[in-house]
Amino acid sequence: MVFRWVLLASAQRGSEMKISVGESVLELVRGDITRQETEAIVNAANSRLAGGGGVDGAIHRAGGPRILEECRAIGGCPTGRAVITSGANLKAKYVIHTVGPVYRGGGRGEAELLGSAYLESLKLAAGNDVRSISFPSISTGAYGYPIAGAARIALNTVVAFLEESGAVWLVRFVLFSEADLKVYEDELREIGAD
């Protein structure tokens, strides 16, 4: 895949990286996704939309019970797809719940399903006039996807979408640890060097 991007900022000690893709911006930051002020934040949910630990637990705790009520009304979400609820008590107006694959060695379509989780989330955002969105690192916690491979898929999918569509202006990856942020930064540099 060939695409053009421009490095806008890169802090020396690995705290933040920002690039432009077409008219849009892609950022990597370390932080807590529940505190983001983007119009939408993405939840790494399960297919029952039943809540859980990790990002999912944090979002439901911070957003309040209304999000789970809306999830129950929707009913569920297959792996690789996405659904949308309000942000309830969060700063974000919407939560986009997507379901990444459980990693079982890589031979069960995990890569395609992970790419699809990102792409479906972005399409749903664009369809709801969302201009700014924050993603966590989907599938790399409880679902066990090795983070370097997951980061590459996440970043390739987002960059390809931003190149094709001007609908979303800001995509922010919010990484929970310095180590995860570093992996995403390294993968983004490699993508740019391809």
Residues that bind ligand APR (CB under 6 A): 32-34, 44-46, 52-58, 100, 136-143, 174, 176, 180
Which residues have a Cβ under 8 Å from the Cβ of 87 and sit 6 or more positions away? 40, 41, 63, 67, 93, 94, 95
Exposure b/e, 19-28, CB count within 10 A at least 16 = b: bebeebbbbb
Quick one: which of 78, 28, 33, 86 has its CA closest to 55?
33
Least separation in angstroms between residue 18's CB and ligand APR is 18
Cα(24)–Cα(15) distance, integer angstroms: 20
- Complex with ligand APR: residue 60 or 125, whichever CB lies closer: 60
- Give the amino acid at 61: R
The Cβ of residue 4 has, within 10 Å, a number of other Cβ atoms equal to 10
Catalytic residues: 56
Least separation in angstroms between residue 132's CB and ligand APR is 16
Q: Is 58 exposed, middle or buried (0-12, 13-18, 19+ CB in 10 A)?
A: middle
Least separation in angstroms between residue 178's CB and ligand APR is 12
- Complex with ligand APR: residue 111 or 142, whichever CB lies closer: 142
Bridge partners of residue 82, in order along the sequence: 98
- Complex with ligand APR: residue 116 or 139, whichever CB lies closer: 139
Least separation in angstroms between residue 4's CB and ligand APR is 29
- Complex with ligand APR: residue 54 or 192, whichever CB lies closer: 54
